[in-house]
Chain A
Amino acid sequence: MALNTQPNLFEPGKRYFRAFSPGDDFYEALIETHRDLSDEQSEMVNARLILLLANHIGDIAVLREAMSIARAGVVAKD
């Protein structure tokens, strides 16, 4: 399975009338997760979040692809 980079967010049982709603629901929850945290605490939350999600995804080929895209965007040339 390849990494899915198409919009893919949804909440089971919830009906959406606007395409932007599921992404905005997620993004709000993500930022809310960091509310009132120090920068150090936020870094730790992010690391834990990545580890949890990586395990959930499971497929290491998919994770390698995601890690590669994530890194490529912030490093000029590897």
Chain B
Amino acid sequence: MLSTYQYPKFEYVRPPEIAEGRDGHYPVVIVGAGPVGLCTAIDLARQGRQVLLLDNDDTVSIGSRGVCYAKRTLEVLDRLGCGEEMVQKGVSWNVGRTFFREDEVFNFNLCPEPDHHRPGMINLQQYYLEDYLVQRARKLPNLEMRFRNNVIAVTPGEKQASLRVETPDGAYTLTTDWLVVADGARSPIRTMLGLDIEGKVFMDRFLIADVVMKADFPTERWFWFDPPFHPNQSVLLHRQADNVFRIDFQLGWQADPEQEKKPENVIPRIQAMIGDDREFELEWVSVYTFQCRRMNRFNHGRVLFVGDSAHQVSPFGARGANSGIQDADNLVWKLALVMDGKAPATLLDTYGDERGFAADENIMNSTRSTDFITPKSRTSRTFRNAVLGLAEHHPFARALVNSGRLSVPSFLVDSRLNTADDAVFAGNMVPGAPMDDAPIESVGGEPWLLQVLGDRFQLLHYVADAADLDAASVAALQSLAEGPIPVEPIVVAARGRAPAGLRTLIDAKGRIRERYDLQPGTTYLARPDQHVAARWRALDPARVRAAVARATCNA
């Protein structure tokens, strides 16, 4: 098969523990250099932690697995310092079209609102994502990556975990204060520890073909229900980088995976779909089944599970890697505070609570999509076809068409880290909300709000003219920067520059005011992962400090 991508081979280096015949100790060890393990490692290392990342392999993901990276993931990658190359290489898209038999019945725009930095989705082969993450990781001197280092035993303890690691030069022992497990859906470490993961297997098979072609398909997601070229089943077409197209055929449970994978069987399916005369070559073919399941608990003392090792979903909606990267986003600031002794270990329980809530939402949405796409009974199929038949002319039915509810972040409204509103606000920026982006002007030159947010607690205080900020407010804002968990004060204003060198963001297009329902005096406390922790109609440093304490389990 053709390859548009040259797989890197990462060098194995003899670990110092083996060379020096001793055990090693690290404050944090991450197992698994997939997208989620890499993001976790990069985020911790950027924040000054000494990180060891172990992987049993020496290259990136083989074949194209994950394809769609959502707006929220791109915002996290931006915070990690590698969003731009992903967006440049990837294919940005917002429009999806849905076909039923021969007709288009419905289309959607993932990002109908203007003035956001990142698109609704990019499509990018997983190997590129991992490749760029490895390149980013290499720029961090306190992040050490060890390839062909396979964890063969884990002994959890009260204060640390102990690992036995196998390499081409033999085995060695490591201890670590914190072990982050990102070793994928089959998670050998989860198995070693005898931890359960529960859910259900879906009785269906899908064929993935990644195809190189110079086709004139537009950069949109096309989804067919029961198309003439593949009757009674569904088909999905996605464009990726390098003119590679992902085609996903539903096959049914009875299909024989070995037969279906053979090029002589795959090629006619694709020819029937795109027409005989267009040239293409296969780059990757596989047949998959899937399951939706999650661990009951993601954190077990010193051992923390992230990504597919903790939860899996059906692929409809691109909620796998996207949710895993949001796990890293949620976990890292909490782990950093706990490692510094600035928050109790119970803060890590909120990682499990918040991401468990997100996992449930992802499983619910992807299960609903699966049930719509692959109806399990005659009646279910009849309803599905009735919805599709009505969708062309009747808007209510379009809203019911479910070809995958594409990954969007969860609103963590029930999180115990939130401080409840004591005033009325319009809009969606409730405590627990992932923060909306908006264009800004600033002395620092950042053109987007989310480029300024993250990595620490921050307080956004709105006034019409920043220059009019009174001395008491200036002093109150400055006082928040002190203390064990500092809060960076930021003045958001329609115009002007705040006194005393306070960081000022100009709400250039009025979108922050609109999206956050700002009035003069309105104040938002942002978590290090760009979620709203609390908000008020007036600035009160005592309340801000109380909200920070609450958001860090120090209350």
Contact = CB atoms under 8 A, between A and B. Distances in A.
Contacts of B379: 31, 34, 37, 39, 42-43, 46
Contact of B389 (A7, A18, A46, A73): A73
B380 A23 contact: no
Contacts of A15: 413
A6 interface: yes
A15 B397 CA distance: 21
Contacts of B390: 69, 73
A20 B399 contact: yes
Contacts of A69: 390, 394
Interface string B521-548: 0000000000000000000000000000
A20 B383 contact: no
Interface size class of A (residues with CB under 8 A): 20 to 34
A5 to B, nearest CB: 4
A3 to B, nearest CB: 9
Contacts of B396: 4-9, 23
Contacts of B389: 73-74
A37 B121 CA distance: 39
Interface in B354-409: 365, 368, 371-372, 377-380, 383, 386-387, 389-390, 394-397, 399-400, 402, 405, 408
Interface size class of B (residues with CB under 8 A): 20 to 34
A15 B428 CA distance: 10
A19 interface: yes
Interface in A50-67: none
B399 A34 contact: no
Given A18-B408, A27-B368, A39 B395 contact: no
A43 B402 CA distance: 23
A24 B365 contact: yes
Nearest to A3: B394
Nearest to A43: B379
A23 B408 contact: no
Contacts of B433: 17
B399 A7 contact: yes
B405 A31 contact: no
A23 B400 contact: yes
A45 B380 CA distance: 13
B333 interface: no
B284 interface: no
A27 B553 CA distance: 39
A41 to B, nearest CB: 9
Contact of B380 (A9, A18, A20, A31): A31
B411 interface: yes
A74 B395 CA distance: 18
A7 B402 contact: no
B405 A5 contact: no
A74 B388 CA distance: 12
B395 A20 contact: no
Contacts of B380: 31, 34
Contacts of B413: 15
Contact of B378 (A7, A20, A39): A39
B405 A20 contact: yes
A27 B400 contact: yes
Given A20-B405, A28-B371, A6 B395 contact: yes
A27 B377 contact: no
Interface in B328-371: 365, 368, 371
A31 B399 contact: no
A24 B380 CA distance: 14
A19 B402 CA distance: 12
Contacts of A31: 371, 379-380, 383
A20 B408 CA distance: 12
A39 B380 CA distance: 10
Contacts of A37: 377, 379
Contact of B405 (A6, A24, A46, A73): A24
Nearest to B380: A31
Contacts of B405: 18, 20, 24
A23 B380 CA distance: 15
B404 to A, nearest CB: 10
Nearest to A74: B389
Contact of B411 (A4, A17, A20, A46): A17
B207 to A, nearest CB: 26
Nearest to A46: B379
Which among A4, A26, A42, A69 has the greatest number of chain B C-beta atoms within 10 A?
Answer: A42
A19 B394 contact: no
B428 A17 contact: yes
Contacts of B394: 5, 69
A16 to B, nearest CB: 10
Contact of B395 (A5, A9, A42): A5
A23 B379 CA distance: 18
A18 B378 CA distance: 29
A30 B394 CA distance: 19
Given A5-B397, A24-B400, A30-B383, 10 more contacts: A5-B395, A15-B413, A24-B365, A27-B368, A27-B372, A27-B383, A31-B380, A37-B379, A39-B378, A43-B379
- Nearest first, the 8 A-B pairs at minimum CB distance are A42-B379, A7-B399, A5-B394, A23-B399, A23-B400, A17-B411, A34-B379, A7-B396
16 contacts: A5-B395, A8-B396, A9-B399, A15-B413, A18-B408, A20-B402, A20-B405, A24-B365, A24-B368, A24-B400, A24-B402, A27-B372, A27-B387, A27-B400, A37-B377, A74-B389
Interface of A: 4-9, 15, 17-20, 23-24, 26-28, 30-31, 34, 37, 39, 42-43, 46, 69, 73-74
